[in-house]
């Protein structure tokens, strides 16, 4: 059965939402690495956004957590602090 124009548009919107969510996760992770914002606050807010925009419902909590884990994987590493210590 062919996919309707409305279904294609809905799929495109879902993909665009996910792409933007991932982009924002990486952007906030960079700010955490720079020491601008707190990691816990950033991750909590991103998860709230994922719930509000039905990303958790669409992908599942484990997949959303994997996206956040990937973006924030090295956010705890601060090269300058590591050199001093």
Q: Can you list the alpha helix ranges (DSSP code H) found in the chain?
A: 5-33, 39-52, 55-59, 61-71, 79-84
Sign of the alpha-carbon dihedral angle for 28, 33, 36, 37: positive
Structure tokens at 30: 């960079």
Residue (of 25, 17, 32) closest to 68 by Cα position: 25
Res 2: pLDDT: 82
pLDDT tens figures, 36-79: 999 999 999 999 999 999 999 999 999 999 999 999 997 665 55
Q: Which domain holds residue 34?
A: 5-84
Distance, CA of 13 to CA of 63 (rounded, Å): 19
What residue has token string 């996206």? 67
Domain count, the chain: 1
């Amino acid at each position: 059965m062919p996919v309707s124009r409305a279904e294609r548009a809905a799929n495109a919107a879902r993909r665009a939402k996910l792409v933007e969510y991932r982009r924002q996760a990486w952007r906030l992770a960079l700010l955490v690495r720079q020491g601008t914002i707190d990691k816990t606050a950033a991750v909590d807010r991103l998860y709230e956004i994922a719930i509000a925009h039905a990303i958790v419902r669409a992908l599942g909590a484990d997949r959303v957590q994997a996206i956040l884990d990937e973006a924030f994987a090295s956010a705890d590493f601060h090269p300058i602090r590591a050199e001093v210590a």
